[in-house]
C-alpha cells in the first residue's frame, strides 16, 4: 500500500493519484536491474526467449542408483531381444534345412531305376501308402516317402515335404513328384503378391536361380519324368480389387533338365473346393512341351471306348433281367 502524504489515506500499489484527495502520490521507482527487495537482477536470465527458439534444457544428473537401475533394464531388454532373435533363427533354419533336405533327396531319385536302388541313393524309405490319409488322396502314386517333421497348413498338420514315385510295368521309376508343404505354412494360397503374374513375367532360357529370385519364392511342387523335363509349381495369391477378394494361382514353369533353363510358363487359378494341397490335378491348361494333355482325337477315342463299354454292360444287365423274368 502507498500512504498519501497529504491526507494520510492508504492507496493500492500502482496508483498514481490518491483516491481520497486526488494528490499525486510519491512512488519510489527502482532501477530495472533492482527488485523490490533490493536484489540485483541478471538481465540475461530475465530476457524472454525469442519466438520460435526453444529454451535449452539443463541436463539432469542421475544418481548412482538410477544409473545402476538403467543398466539392469537395458541388460534385461538386450537378453529378451537376443532370445527372440534366436527363436526366429531356429524356426527359419528348421523350415529351410528340412525342406531343402527333401528337395535334394527328390533330385537324387534316379529315373529308370527301381525303388530299391532309389532308397540306397537317397537314404529314404518308400512305402506304398502314407500314414497321412489326406496325402494319399492327393494324386496317384505307387510309392511315397514323407518327412518326420510337420507343419500346419490351414490348421491341419501336414508333413514338411513328401516325395511320390510312379513306376512302369517293369517296376522302374518313370516319374518323381516333390511337395514342399512348408511353403504353405503361412497360407494355403501361397505367397502374397501385389498383382497377377502372366506368361510374360519370366523369359525363355532363365535359370532356376533367377526364377526363384524374380518370383521371390521357392517352388511348392516339382515334377520330373523320363522326358528330361521338369515342372516347377509356384503358388501365390493377390487381392483382386475389382472382384473384391483374394485369388490364388499355381504358376507353372517348365525347365529343361539338360541346362536347367526355362522352356515354358503357364498358370491356373485354384478353386478352394479342390484339395488345397494338390498341385497336379488342378492344371486347367496343358503346358506347352511339358507334360502335355492327350490330343483331342485321342480324348474322343477314349471317350468312345468308355461309351461302348458302358453300352455293353447295360446290354448284359438287360439280358440278365429278361432271363430272370
Please tell me whether residue 20 adopts helix, strand or coil conformation. coil
The Cα 137–Cα 135 span in angstroms is 5
Question: What mean pLDDT is predicted for residues 229-247?
Answer: 92
**Residue 121: per-residue pLDDT:** 93
Render pLDDT for 289-312 as a digit per residue (tens, 0 to 9): 333 323 333 333 333 443 343 344
* Radius of gyration, CA atoms only, the chain: 42
193: its cell numbers? 503378391
Q: Are residues 249 and 197 in contact, defined by beta-carbon separation less than 8 angstroms?
A: yes
**Residue 286: per-residue pLDDT:** 34
Indicate the pLDDT class of residue 174, thresholds 50, 70 and 90.
very high
Average pLDDT, the chain: 76
Q: What is the pTM of this model?
A: 0.57
CB atoms within 10 A of CB 178: 24
Indicate the pLDDT class of residue 2, thresholds 50, 70 and 90.
confident
**Residue from 315, 317, 259, 274 nearest 138 by CA:** 274
In order of 18, 23, 181, 284, the CA distances from 9 in angstroms are: 7, 10, 100, 109
DSSP category for residue 199: G
In order of 216, 217, 218, the CA distances from 213 in angstroms are: 5, 7, 9
**Residue 195: per-residue pLDDT:** 92
Render pLDDT for 204-224 as a digit per residue (tens, 0 to 9): 999 988 999 999 999 999 999
**Residue 291: per-residue pLDDT:** 33
The Cα 176–Cα 257 span in angstroms is 13
**Residue 59: per-residue pLDDT:** 67
Indicate the pLDDT class of residue 162, thresholds 50, 70 and 90.
very high
Q: Are residues 290 and 263 in contact, defined by beta-carbon separation less than 8 angstroms?
A: yes
Over 90: is that where the pLDDT of 167 sits? yes
Amino acid at each position: 500500500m502507498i500512504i498519501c502524504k497529504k491526507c494520510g489515506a492508504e492507496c493500492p500499489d500502482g496508483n498514481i493519484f490518491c483516491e481520497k484527495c486526488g494528490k499525486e502520490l510519491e512512488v519510489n521507482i527502482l532501477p530495472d536491474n533492482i527488485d523490490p527487495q533490493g536484489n540485483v537482477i541478471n538481465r540475461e536470465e530475465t530476457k524472454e526467449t525469442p519466438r520460435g527458439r526453444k529454451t535449452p534444457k539443463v541436463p539432469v544428473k542421475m544418481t548412482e542408483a538410477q544409473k545402476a537401475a538403467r543398466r539392469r533394464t537395458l541388460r534385461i531388454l538386450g537378453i529378451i531381444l537376443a532370445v527372440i532373435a534366436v527363436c526366429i533363427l531356429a524356426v527359419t533354419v528348421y523350415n529351410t534345412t528340412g525342406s531343402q533336405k527333401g528337395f535334394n533327396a527328390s533330385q537324387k531319385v534316379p529315373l529308370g531305376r527301381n525303388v530299391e536302388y532309389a532308397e540306397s541313393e537317397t537314404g529314404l524309405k518308400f512305402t506304398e501308402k502314407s500314414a497321412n490319409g489326406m496325402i494319399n488322396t492327393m494324386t496317384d502314386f505307387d510309392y511315397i516317402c514323407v518327412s518326420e517333421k510337420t507343419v500346419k497348413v490351414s490348421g491341419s498338420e501336414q508333413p514338411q515335404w513328401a516325395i511320390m514315385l510312379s513306376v512302369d510295368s517293369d517296376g522302374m521309376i518313370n516319374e518323381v513328384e516333390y511337395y514342399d508343404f512348408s511353403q504353405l505354412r503361412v497360407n494355403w494360397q501361397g505367397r502374397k503378391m501385389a498383382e497377377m503374374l502372366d506368361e510374360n513375367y519370366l523369359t525363355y532360357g532363365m535359370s532356376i536361380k533367377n526364377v526363384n529370385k524374380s518370383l521371390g519364392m521357392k517352388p511348392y511342387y516339382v515334377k520330373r519324368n523320363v522326358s528330361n523335363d521338369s515342372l516347377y509349381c509356384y503358388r501365390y495369391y493377390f487381392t483382386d480389387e475389382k472382384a473384391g477378394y483374394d485369388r490364388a494361382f499355381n504358376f507353372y514353369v517348365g525347365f529343361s533338365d539338360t541346362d536347367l533353363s526355362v522352356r515354358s510358363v503357364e498358370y491356373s487359378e485354384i478353386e478352394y473346393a479342390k484339395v488345397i494341397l494338390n498341385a497336379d490335378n488342378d492344371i486347367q491348361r496343358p503346358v506347352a512341351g511339358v507334360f502335355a494333355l492327350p490330343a483331342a482325337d485321342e480324348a474322343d477315342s477314349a471317350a468312345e471306348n468308355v461309351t461302348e463299354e458302358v453300352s455293353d454292360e447295360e446290354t448284359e444287365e438287360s439280358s440278365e433281367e429278361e432271363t430272370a423274368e
